[in-house]
Amino acid sequence: MDMTEPRWRAVAGARTVLLASPRSFCAGVERAIEVVEQLLRRRGAPVYVRKQIVHNSHVIHDLHSQGAVFVEELDEVPDGAVLVFSAHGVSPAVRQDAARRGLEVIDATCPLVAKVHSEARRFARRGNTVFLIGHAGHEEVEGTFGHAPEHTVLVENVSDVERLEVPDPDRVTYLTQTTLAVDETAAVVNALRARFPRLRGPASDDICYATTNRQDALRAIAAKADVVLVVGSVNSSNSVRLVELARRCGTRAHLIDDVGDIRPRWLAGADVVGLTAGASAPPRLLDAVVDVLGELGPVEVAEHVTTRETVHFDLPSPVRKPSTRQDEPEPREER
């Protein structure tokens, strides 16, 4: 980026950056990335990963440069190779296929996603219809759906609710994708309750703490900003939800993968810039945004902290200790 170009000089000036906190990596993302990095250090390349380990292009590029090989389907993985399941989780059918192929599986599924899987199986065993609130085609939704496909119905929005038909309206439950907008999800749940008064839900919210915290942090600064920049990739659900939230707050907002995506016109008349990042975006990318803004004039950074995150997830047992071919992922206890 040549900041001496006329288009950049036209938007030069002093600015305040309102930095939302929490932002960037969450515990599940850090765990998933560390799984791949540890395997590369201990086993060497290649280490195969089904889908993107997390939804961020910079993370994928960094791991690929270290020897990680990202595949869409298991038939791209050589028999007997090491395979990592991404943070978004997989269906039992994918696990069975990996076992049939003799692949050495290391499961990097976020524990909070695994919780939703457990709930889906538990509700299905009771004979309930499970309304899965989420986005069609998202890897997390596909994985969760696969744990109880005959009992699960995908619900994407409020308008879907009126079209629902179930065997027994008194035996219905709902689960959610972990990275949804809190307010929009509440509207869908309210519509389900109005249609199905006996609706039950999970014992604790499925939308994860990190998604909720990042939305709360952005909400605290959005109305004070002239424009909001959200660092994250286009396939990152929680990053896209942040952009949508800022716009619902009445503030212009843009999703950027990195500083190269910033357009000078976005900064015209923007004396106060709100800045945050989705849970899969590396912190260094925000530092680069502040540096670029600093090339346009003096920048005052004001961090707004809404909560402190202390969550940590242990690595899977085959990664915590020297691995052997007999190592298996620890079984997940149903709740």
Please give the annotated binding residues for [4Fe-4S] cluster, written as ranges: 26, 110, 208
**Amino acid type, 183:** D
Among 104, 119, 139, 140, which one carries the catalytic annotation? Answer: 140
Number of residues that make up the chain:
335
Could you tell me whether strands 68-71 and 47-50 are parallel, antiparallel, or unpaired per DSSP bridges?
parallel
Residue 5 among the catalytic residues: no
Known binding residues for isopentenyl diphosphate: 55, 88, 138, 236-238, 280
Known binding-site residue numbers: 26, 55, 88, 110, 138, 178, 208, 236-238, 280
Catalytic residue numbers, as ranges: 140
